[in-house]
């Protein structure tokens, strides 16, 4: 029996409050697993999908499309079979489809003898994720694939930059058991903003990045604000403001929607604060009869990896 190449691709938090579509970071887990096996039959095929209902047609599947595009680019029709093991729900705000795309990109590349770097794989994974939510943005795929906190300075050319993050940074994420599709959450956004909103948001984004680079927690705290997207999406997530208030009153540096929601993240400067906040998040949702999962994590610097 042929031995498969198995990779792990982590969940990610996109936007990070003030960086809509341009900033994201990778979590330690959960993450999807992709297995690639070489076969004698030429061409690419998805043979198994667990953990979610997804199309087996590679053209319609985030991971499959990523694989096809890489194989096309490398002009290979070698026989490859893919298994997709979803370990996180769709529509969670945790970058589920981005993780599948990132995992597919790395697994295919390893199977083909690593002709491309991770950075060179990024455009294919971004195209793959587009299959899932219809929009072209890299703020989940880039951190999931490359690890760390990533700024995508230009989405079209995929000019990305890894941002240094202080060692003491801890993340807590709550995933309430409701589903929000990214295309719906994007569909409600206004196409225009005020100049005053732009000024505030760009100052906060610059402040957040500077705060990260200089380990200035006060600056991180003051900058972790989103006055444009969060107010438009908050109503999609039950008890959002109660959750946010719980995080801030217990010492979080900031708290906002993870990606398109419904997950909510908070950044903290120590693990005890993060754990206490996680317990409060869980309590608030359970008191309102909504199941939830809590993720406590550091920022994952490795991204997608062979396991
Ligand atoms: N930046 C994207 C959004 C991430 O907020 O719509 C969702 O995957």
Parse the chain into domains and list their residue ranges. 5-163+302-306, 170-297
pLDDT digits (tens, 9 = 90+) for 57-111: 999 999 999 999 999 999 998 999 999 999 998 899 999 999 999 999 999 999 9
Of 228 and 133, the structure prediction assigns the larger pLDDT to 228
Residues with CB under 6 A from ligand 1: 14-15, 20-21, 137, 139-140, 182, 185-186, 259-260
5-163+302-306 under CATH 3.20.20.70, yes or no = no
Confidence label for 296 from pLDDT (cuts 50, 70 and 90): very high
Residue 2: the pLDDT is 65
Name residue, tokens 């403001």.
241
Cα(179) to centroid of ligand 1, in Å? 14
Cα(78) to centroid of ligand 1, in Å? 34
Assigned CATH topology for domain 170-297 = Alpha-Beta Plaits (3.30.70)
Q: Do domains 5-163+302-306 and 170-297 have the same CATH topology?
A: no
pLDDT digits (tens, 9 = 90+) for 117-137: 999 999 999 999 999 878 899
Confidence label for 34 from pLDDT (cuts 50, 70 and 90): very high
Residue 1 in this model has a pLDDT that exceeds 60: no
CA atoms within 13 A on the CB side of 290: 21
Q: How many Å apart are CA 253 and CA 251, to the nearest integer?
A: 6
**Which pTM was predicted?**
0.97
Residue 199 in this model has a pLDDT that exceeds 80: yes
| Average pLDDT estimate for 166-192 | 96
| Residues noted as catalytic | 129, 182
Residue 161 in this model has a pLDDT that exceeds 70: yes
Residue 134: the pLDDT is 85
Residue 133: the pLDDT is 79
| Average pLDDT estimate for 158-173 | 97
Residue of 11, 15, 27, 151 best suited for mutating to test ligand 1, as the one with most atoms within 8 Å of CB: 15
pLDDT digits (tens, 9 = 90+) for 231-255: 999 999 999 999 999 999 999 999 9
Please, what is the Cα angle at 129 between 123 and 134, to 5 degrees? 115
Residue 132: the pLDDT is 87
């Amino acid at each position: 029996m042929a031995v498969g190449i198995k990779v792990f691709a982590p969940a990610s938090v996109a936007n990070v409050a003030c960086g809509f579509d341009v900033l994201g970071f990778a979590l330690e887990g959960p993450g999807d697993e992709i297995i690639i096996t070489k076969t004698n039959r030429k061409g690419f095929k998805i043979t198994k999908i667990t953990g979610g209902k997804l199309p087996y047609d590679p053209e319609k599947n985030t991971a499959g499309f990523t694989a096809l595009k890489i194989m096309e680019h490398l002009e290979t029709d070698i026989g490859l079979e893919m298994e997709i093991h979803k370990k996180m729900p769709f529509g969670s705000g945790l970058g589920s489809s981005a993780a599948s795309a990132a995992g597919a990109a790395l697994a295919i590349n390893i199977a083909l003898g690593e002709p491309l770097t991770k950075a060179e794989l990024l455009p294919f994974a971004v195209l793959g994720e587009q299959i899932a939510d219809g929009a072209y943005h890299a703020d989940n795929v880039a951190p999931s694939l490359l690890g760390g906190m990533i700024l995508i300075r230009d989405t079209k050319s995929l000019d990305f930059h890894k941002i240094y993050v202080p060692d003491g940074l801890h993340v807590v994420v709550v995933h309430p058991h409701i589903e929000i599709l990214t295309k719906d959450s994007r569909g409600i956004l206004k196409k225009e903003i005020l100049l005053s909103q732009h000024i505030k948001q760009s100052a906060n984004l610059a402040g957040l990045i500077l705060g990260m680079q200089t380990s200035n927690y006060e600056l991180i705290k003051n900058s972790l604000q989103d006055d444009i997207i969060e107010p438009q999406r908050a109503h999609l997530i039950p008890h959002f403001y109660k959750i946010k208030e719980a995080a801030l009153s217990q010492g979080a540096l900031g708290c906002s929607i993870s990606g398109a929601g419904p997950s909510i993240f908070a950044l903290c400067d120590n693990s005890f604060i993060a754990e206490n906040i996680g317990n409060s998040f869980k309590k608030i949702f359970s008191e309102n009869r909504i199941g939830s999962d809590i993720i406590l994590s550091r920022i994952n610097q490795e991204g997608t990896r062979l396991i």
